[in-house]
């Protein structure tokens, strides 16, 4: 399956893009990222026009990149401003520049026709940069196609089996879901609201709530890239106030960015933002380590699935049940976007 | 008004209830069937009289 083009994808956490040249392949396109002295992120095709040497393996001279092979020198807009040994610079000496936007502590890159790039279409995750939240984050490379990660995240009943002892409890798989698709906005919502449930260690140790809880998992998937999980943990029976005020509950905003690297590999960006224990470094450490452990469990499972898919004949017939209602909606939306973009 | 499609899992059963943005409603025993029904708007197949259990 090729990639959904004419879309914004998360290319990096803001903190990953700095003075160093960062090589990252997005949707099969090798790109070099860096930040100018004015603080602006730049994304250029990671191949010198001359003999395709990776610019990411080159060096910077101020805001320019000097190719590490023969010295072709590029401005941040991709224009070649110097070639070795001669004054005339060929008119075609220019590397493609990618539209790039930094928003909510993420660096987004546009994959597709540059003139169609509309930054207002980038979905928001405002808590990532909010002083009212503390965020831990990371990125795990996945040796599996991005569709498998979409399936994985749209059906959280797998938490009970794959992530027992961390975020999985029996109630996750047992509780019915409600699924909603907004056809115009292009969003899939999946909601699972558990009453009087066991508190998994991930939340018991971080929130300090150890008794029975009400646990809400409200998913908002903005295909193709951004996945938001609004997680609410409260002592059982405690409801939010009529104005949405909810001081007795703990809220964790779990964010994933699902960015295809190649057709069978994916950048699995993850973030956990919380509105509780804001000053507690230990909680940050615990949540970062636990979430990474959980993701590595998913990575191992999905890598295995990718091997299975690679080794099987075409046309394997899957079986879907109620828990797959959201995943099926996401697949259909991706298929529609793919058809529209190719 | 945005076009929203909803699938609710009927409490205490294994049935899914699909609600189209046009107000039409149907029940089905699996998600493939319920999406098929929802996405055939405005030509929703008429609801079946009997459900598989
Ligand atoms: Zn309808």
Whether residue A193 sits in one domain with residue A283: yes
Whether residue A35 sits in one domain with residue A153: no
**Bridging pattern class, strands A134-142 and A22-26:** unpaired
Residue A317 domain-assigned (yes or no): yes
Q: Is there a contact between B3 and A182 if contact means CB atoms under 8 Å apart?
A: yes
Region A274-298 average pLDDT: 96
Residue A2 domain-assigned (yes or no): no
Whether residue A159 sits in one domain with residue A37: no
Residues whose CB falls within 8 Å of the CB of residue A86, separated by 6 or more in sequence, listed in order: none
Q: Grade residue B46 by pLDDT with cuts at 50, 70 and 90.
A: confident
State residue B51's pLDDT score.
47
Whether residue A97 sits in one domain with residue A190: no
CATH number at residue A143: 3.90.380.10
Q: Mutate one of A176, A184, A194, A334 to test the B interface: name it (highest B CB count within 10 A).
A: A176
pTM: 0.94
Query: Starting from the edge strand earliest in sequence, which strands make up the sheet with A100-103, in order?
Result: A7-13, A106-111, A100-103
The ipTM estimated for the assembled molecules is: 0.87
Whole-number Å distance between alpha carbons of A198 and A188: 27
Query: How many structural domains comprise chain A?
Result: 2
State residue A212's pLDDT score.
96
Instruction: Give the closest residue to A124 by CA, choosing from A145, A151, A144, A106.
Output: A106
Q: Which residue range forms the structural domain that includes residue A36?
A: 7-121
Distance from the alpha carbon of residue B19 to the mean position of ligand 1, in angstroms: 8
Question: Which chain A residues contact residue B34 at CB under 8 A?
Answer: 325
List of E strands, chain A = 7-13, 22-26, 29-35, 41-45, 59-61, 64-66, 73-74, 80-82, 100-103, 106-111, 134-142, 178-182, 187-197, 213-222, 226-235, 250-262, 265-274
Percent of chain A with pLDDT over 70: 100
Residue A172 domain-assigned (yes or no): yes
Question: Which chain B residues contact residue A183 at CB under 8 A?
Answer: 2-5, 21
Last residue of a domain, one of A95, A121, A147: A121
Q: Grade residue B48 by pLDDT with cuts at 50, 70 and 90.
A: low
Over 70: is that where the pLDDT of B47 sits? no
Residue A76 domain-assigned (yes or no): yes
Please check whether residue A96 touches B, CB under 8 A.
no
Residue A201 domain-assigned (yes or no): yes
Q: Is there a contact between A328 and B3 if contact means CB atoms under 8 Å apart?
A: no
Question: Which chain A residues contact residue B31 at CB under 8 A?
Answer: 320-322, 324-325, 328
Residues whose CB falls within 8 Å of the CB of residue A116, separated by 6 or more in sequence, listed in order: A6, A110
Residue range A314-330, pLDDT digits in tens = 889 899 999 999 999 99
Contact A27, A43 (CB under 8 A): no
Residue range A7-29, pLDDT digits in tens = 999 999 999 999 999 999 999 99
**Nearest chain B alpha carbon to A187:** B4
Token representation of residue A285? 């450490």
Whole-number Å distance between alpha carbons of A161 and A152: 12
State residue A315's pLDDT score.
87
The partner residues of A226 in beta bridges, in order of sequence, read A222, A257
State residue B53's pLDDT score.
41
Please check whether residue A181 touches B, CB under 8 A.
yes
Helix (H, G, I), strand (E, B) or coil at A298: helix
Query: What's the distance, Cα to Cα, between the start and end of chain B in Å?
Result: 36
Residue A23 domain-assigned (yes or no): yes
Token representation of residue A26? 């997005």
CATH number at residue A50: 2.102.10.10
Over 60: is that where the pLDDT of B52 sits? no
Over 50: is that where the pLDDT of B49 sits? no
Whether residue A310 sits in one domain with residue A171: yes
Q: Grade residue A115 by pLDDT with cuts at 50, 70 and 90.
A: very high
Last residue of a domain, one of A121, A142, A172: A121
The partner residues of A165 in beta bridges, in order of sequence, read none
Instruction: Give the closest residue to A159 by CA, choosing from A211, A197, A131.
Output: A197
Last residue of a domain, one of A121, A155, A175: A121
- What distance in Å separates residue B5's CA from the closest CA in chain A? 5
Helix (H, G, I), strand (E, B) or coil at A167: coil
Whether residue A144 sits in one domain with residue A101: no
Query: Starting from the edge strand earliest in sequence, which strands make up the sheet with A250-262, in order?
Result: A134-142, A265-274, A250-262, A226-235, A213-222, A187-197, A178-182, B4-9, B16-19, B25-28
Over 70: is that where the pLDDT of B36 sits? yes
- What distance in Å separates residue A186's CA from the closest CA in chain B? 10
């Amino acid at each position: 399956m090729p990639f959904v083009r004419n879309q914004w994808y998360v290319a990096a956490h803001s903190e990953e893009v700095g003075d160093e040249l960062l090589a990252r392949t997005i949707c099969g396109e090798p790109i070099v990222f860096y930040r100018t002295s004015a603080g602006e992120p730049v994304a250029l095709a990671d191949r010198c026009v001359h003999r395709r040497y990776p610019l990411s393996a080159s060096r910077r001279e101020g805001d320019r990149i000097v190719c590490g092979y023969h010295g072709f020198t590029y401005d941040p807009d991709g224009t070649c401003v110097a070639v070795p040994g001669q004054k005339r610079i060929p008119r075609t000496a220019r590397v493609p520049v990618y539209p790039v936007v930094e928003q909510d502590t993420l660096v987004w890159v546009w994959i597709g026709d540059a003139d169609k790039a509309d930054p207002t279409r980038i979905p928001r995750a405002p808590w990532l940069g909010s002083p009212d939240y503390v965020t831990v984050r990371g990125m795990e490379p996945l040796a599996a196609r991005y569709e498998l990660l979409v399936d994985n995240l749209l059906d959280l009943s797998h938490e009970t089996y794959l992530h027992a002892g961390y975020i999985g409890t029996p109630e996750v798989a047992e509780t019915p879901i409600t699924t909603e698709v907004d056809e115009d906005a292009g969003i899939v919502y999946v909601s699972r609201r558990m009453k009087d449930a066991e508190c998994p260690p991930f939340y018991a140790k971080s929130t300090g709530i150890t008794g029975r809880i009400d646990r809400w998992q409200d998913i908002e998937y903005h295909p193709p890239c951004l996945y938001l999980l609004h997680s609410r943990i409260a002592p059982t029976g405690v409801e939010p106030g009529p104005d949405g005020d909810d001081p007795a509950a703990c809220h964790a905003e779990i964010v994933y960015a699902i960015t295809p690297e190649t057709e069978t590999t994916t950048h699995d960006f993850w973030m956990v933002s919380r509105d509780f224990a804001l000053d507690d470094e230990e909680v940050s450490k615990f949540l970062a380590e636990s979430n990474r452990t959980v993701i590595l469990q998913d990575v191992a499972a999905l890598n295995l699935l990718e091997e299975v898919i690679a080794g099987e004949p075409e046309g394997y017939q899957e079986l879907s049940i109620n828990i797959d209602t959201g995943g099926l909606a996401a697949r259909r939306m991706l298929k529609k976007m793919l058809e529209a973009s190719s | 008004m945005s076009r929203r499609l909803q699938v609710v899992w009927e409490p205490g059963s294994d049935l899914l209830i699909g609600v189209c943005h046009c107000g039409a409603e149907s029940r089905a025993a699996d998600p493939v069937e319920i999406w098929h029904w929802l996405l055939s708007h405005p030509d929703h197949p008429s609801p079946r009289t009997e459900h598989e259990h």
